[in-house]
Amino acid sequence: MTGGEIAVVVIGLLLLGLVTAGIVRVVRKRAGESLAPARTPAEIEEAAEQGALPPAADAAAEAAQPAAVAAKPARPAPRLVAEEPARAETTIEPLKVTLPQEKPSLKLVPAEAPQKALRAGLAKTRGGFIAKLGRLFAGKKKIDEELLGKLEEVLFTADIGVKTSQRLFDALRAELSRSELKDAGAVWGFIRDESIRILDLPDGGAIDASRAKPFVILTIGVNGVGKTTTIGKLAALLQRGGRKVLLAAGDTFRAAAVEQLEVWGQRTRAPVVKGKEGGDPSSVVFDAIKRAREQGYDVVIADTAGRLHTKVNLMEELQKVRRVCDKAEAGAPHETLLVLDATNGQNAISQAQTFKQAMDFTGIVLTKLDGTAKGGVILGICNELKIPVRYIGVGERVDDLRPFDPGEFGAALYEKAEEAPPEPQEPQEEEEDDEEA
């Protein structure tokens, strides 16, 4: 073969090789194969752990690795949800609580303002029977029998209740001498001091949550008294004292109650344990206490359904909740608070008496004092039930739930009442004309 022929053959072979290589590349590209060298089993495992998994096509290619790789079982992807089944009755999902973007203000009023804030909250109550008393004594240095008769009438028509009115008037007659009874200042001071003595009951004061951990507080009361709001404000108050608080949505019969408690949970950044609507409230409270113990919470505040104090079956359900509390934590609930609405006047006393017959409670929260002239009912509650008032609500702000101090309250209630404006006269003739018209 001549030199020219040899050159032609070599060139032909080179061209054939180039064409073959091009065809192979096209086939591999269409088949989705990676031209990178095959990974070893260890490299594949490392990529899976680091989350750097290959694309679907590359993964398919690597699945066709040597038999040692293909035979090895696939490593399961990490699970984001715990494999333990969710509880049927109750769930605690702190991460599901939508926290406000801006941290809510939970600060107390300035140190110099508490007494002023209390006086402002009691303004309407001072405008009730306290103002009537003030008008009797206004501008008078001496008191005669006629004025004492008017004083008795004012007391007995007030919202403090007949028994409390009788106690005040009888003590006034018994304790003051004849000369003192004629002294308007002495009579006024005695009524104020005797009122403080009625309010100052043994074992009074705010809750001492250091007595147990978790310290369990059960709140009871009829619908509409401000129970859920009280729970939220009490949680904020305890948190300001350094306590870690967990809330239990034990009112499973009213969907709005759970939602309201969750709103307060967001405001105070306290997790809420809740159950299914219409579920067993006892199981919710039990689970909350258990979780509080496991997760190191200091206080559990449990809501309950709004009990009609005349409904026996509902009161029995409440007794069941108390028994379950004791099973979850020996001695619980450590405090049972009855929430009463001051605007109900003497009806609040009747509610408290009926609740007391059905179950024990250790303290009272009196709400909405700022919105009524019937705040004197607090005297009747303390005098007839002999159960201390723990907290009072004197406004809508978070820090308007205040620990109850009898001396501070009495001083604010009776302060400058003698300067109350004259009681307006009713236009009787005009009303009669209107009725005739």
Query: Is a pLDDT exceeding 60 seen at residue 37?
Result: no
Distance CA 71, CA 372 (A): 80
Query: Is a pLDDT exceeding 80 seen at residue 85?
Result: no
- Write out the two tokens for 104: 């809510």
Count the neighbouring beta carbons within 10 Å of the beta carbon of residue 126. Answer: 22
Query: Is a pLDDT exceeding 70 seen at residue 102?
Result: no
Within 157-304, residue ranges assigned H as helices are 162-175, 178-181, 184-199, 227-240, 255-268, 281-295
- Please tell me the predicted confidence (pLDDT) of residue 419: 46
pLDDT tier, 36 (very low <50, low <70, confident <90, very high otherwise): very low
- Please tell me the predicted confidence (pLDDT) of residue 32: 52
- Please tell me the predicted confidence (pLDDT) of residue 26: 63
Is residue 173 classed exposed, middle or buried when 0-12, 13-18 and 19+ CB atoms within 10 A define those classes? exposed
Q: Are 234 and 243 in contact (CB under 8 A)?
A: no
Longest Cα–Cα distance in the chain: 155
Query: Is a pLDDT exceeding 70 seen at residue 262?
Result: yes
* Percentage above 90 pLDDT, the chain: 38
Q: Which residue has the higher pLDDT, 96 or 28?
A: 28
Q: 14-23, 60-69, 264-273, 318-327: which has the minimum mean pLDDT? A: 60-69
pLDDT, one tens digit per residue, over 297-350 is 999 999 998 766 556 677 788 889 999 999 999 999 999 999 999 999 989 998
Q: Which of 155-159, 174-178, 296-300 has the highest mean pLDDT?
A: 296-300
DSSP assignment of 71-116: HSPPPPPPPSS-SSPPPSSEEE-GGGS---SS----PPPPTTSHHH
Distance CA 313, CA 290 (A): 27
Query: Is a pLDDT exceeding 70 seen at residue 73?
Result: no
Q: Are 217 and 174 in contact (CB under 8 A)?
A: no
- Please tell me the predicted confidence (pLDDT) of residue 90: 42
pLDDT, one tens digit per residue, over 349-404 is 988 988 888 788 999 999 999 988 888 899 999 999 999 999 999 988 888 999 99
How are strands ordered across the β-sheet holding 389-393?
90-92, 272-275, 245-248, 299-302, 215-220, 335-341, 363-367, 389-393, 401-403
- Please tell me the predicted confidence (pLDDT) of residue 423: 43
Count the neighbouring beta carbons within 10 Å of the beta carbon of residue 186. Answer: 16
Q: Which residue has the higher pLDDT, 29 or 253?
A: 253
Q: Which residue has the higher pLDDT, 61 or 263?
A: 263
- Please tell me the predicted confidence (pLDDT) of residue 277: 79
Average pLDDT, the chain: 77
Q: Which residue has the higher pLDDT, 18 or 390?
A: 390
Interior CA angle at 306 toward 382 and 310, to 5°? Answer: 70
HSE, CB side, 13 Å, CA atoms: give it for residue 116.
5
The closest alpha carbon to 217, from 241, 238, 191, belongs to 238
pLDDT, one tens digit per residue, over 187-198 is 888 999 999 999
pLDDT tier, 422 (very low <50, low <70, confident <90, very high otherwise): very low
Q: Which residue has the higher pLDDT, 176 or 262?
A: 262
Phi, psi angle pair for 239, to nearest 5°: -65, -35
DSSP, collapsed to helix, strand or coil, labels residue 223 as coil
DSSP, collapsed to helix, strand or coil, labels residue 364 as strand
CA distances from 17 to 11, 12, 436 (A): 10, 9, 120
